[in-house]
Amino acid sequence: MLTPAQILEFRNNGYLVLSGFSTAQFCDAVVVFARNELRRHAMPIEYEADVQYPGAPVSRTALGGATVRRLLMASARTPMLRDWATGNPLKEILQQLLGQAVFLSQAHHNCIMTKQPAFSSMTGWHRDSRYWHFARADLVSAWLALGNERAENGCLWVIPGSHRAVINTDQLDEKQFLKGDFPKNKTLLQHAIEVPLAQGDLLLFHSNLFHAAGRNTTEKTKFSVVFTYRSADNSPNPNSRSDSQPEILL
C-alpha cells in the first residue's frame, strides 16, 4: 500500500517509482516468455518502422524493418502477465490512486516493450493522452522494468509536474510532440529528468505527464511491461480507439 507521502508525491509530480516491486524471478520469467514470443514472431506486433520515430527503419522492408517495438495485447498472451496486471499488490495501489473500481484498458499500452539495440528509435516529448479518448485525461500507467533501465539503453525521461501544465496547440507539432525549439517549451524542458530503474522497479505515471525516451545504444535488448488503468467514472468515448477492446475490471 502507498503511504500518504507517496500518494502526495504522485499527485504533485505525476509519477512515482516503487523500488523492488516485483521479484527478479518474475522479471526473468517474463523476459524468457518475451524472447520466445519474438522468436515465434507472435502477433499482434508493433514494429519500429510503423511509428517512424527518429532512428527507426524507413519501412518494414528496409534494413532492420522487422525490428519489433512492442508485443501488443500482453494481457491476452499469458496468464502470468494478466494476473500481475490485475491482481495484488498492484490492484490495491491503483485503488488508492483511482478509487475502488479500476479498469485495465486493453486498447492502450497493454504490451511488452522490446527496445532493441540496432534499430531502436527515439521517442519525443509527449503525453500518452494525446491520442486517447476518455471522459478525462486522468489515467495511470504502470511500467515494470524487467531489467535495469538507464539512459544508455533508453530509459524514460519525465518532466515532473507537467501533467498539470496548460499547453497551447502552437507548442505541439502535427503528431502532438512538444516542439523542441519553441521558447515556452525550452523553459518546460529545463526541468526534465531521467528515471533510471533497476530490475523489478515499478514506475507509475499519469497519462498527462510529458515523457520521452532515447535509443538503446547498448548491445542488449531492454524489456519492460506497461499497462494502463482508469477509474469507473472515466469511461472511454464510444466508438473510439479507446473503446475498441473490452476492458478488465480489477
> What is the CATH number for 237?
2.60.120.620
CA 78 – CA 17 distance, rounded (Å): 25
Residue 171 reports pLDDT greater than 90? yes
Percent over 90 (pLDDT), the chain: 92
CA 245 – CA 52 distance, rounded (Å): 25
Distances (CA, A) of 126 to 65, 80, 202: 24, 30, 20
Residue 212 near residue 148, CB atoms below 8 Å: no
Q: Which residues are within 8 A (CB) of 104 and not within 5 positions of it... i.e. 6 or more apart?
A: 75, 85, 86, 110, 227, 228, 229, 247, 248, 249, 250
Residue 250 lies in a domain: no
Q: How many residues does the chain have?
A: 250
Which pLDDT tens digit goes with each residue over 111-154? Answer: 999 999 888 899 999 999 999 999 999 999 999 999 999 999 99
Domain count, the chain: 1
C-alpha cell recorded at residue 181 = 525549439
Residue 158 lies in a domain: yes
- Residue 130 structural domain: 4-245
Task: Kindly give the pairing relationship between strand 102-105 and strand 248-249.
Answer: antiparallel
Residue 54 reports pLDDT greater than 90? no
Residue 107 reports pLDDT greater than 90? yes
Residue 196 lies in a domain: yes
Q: What is the pLDDT of residue 202?
A: 98
Angle of helix 90-98 relative to helix 4-13, nearest 10 degrees, comes to: 60
Round the average pLDDT of the chain to a whole number and report it: 96
Neighbours of 111 (CB within 10 A): 23
Which pLDDT tens digit goes with each residue over 195-242? Answer: 999 999 999 999 999 999 999 999 999 999 999 999 999 999 999 999
Residue 55 reports pLDDT greater than 90? no
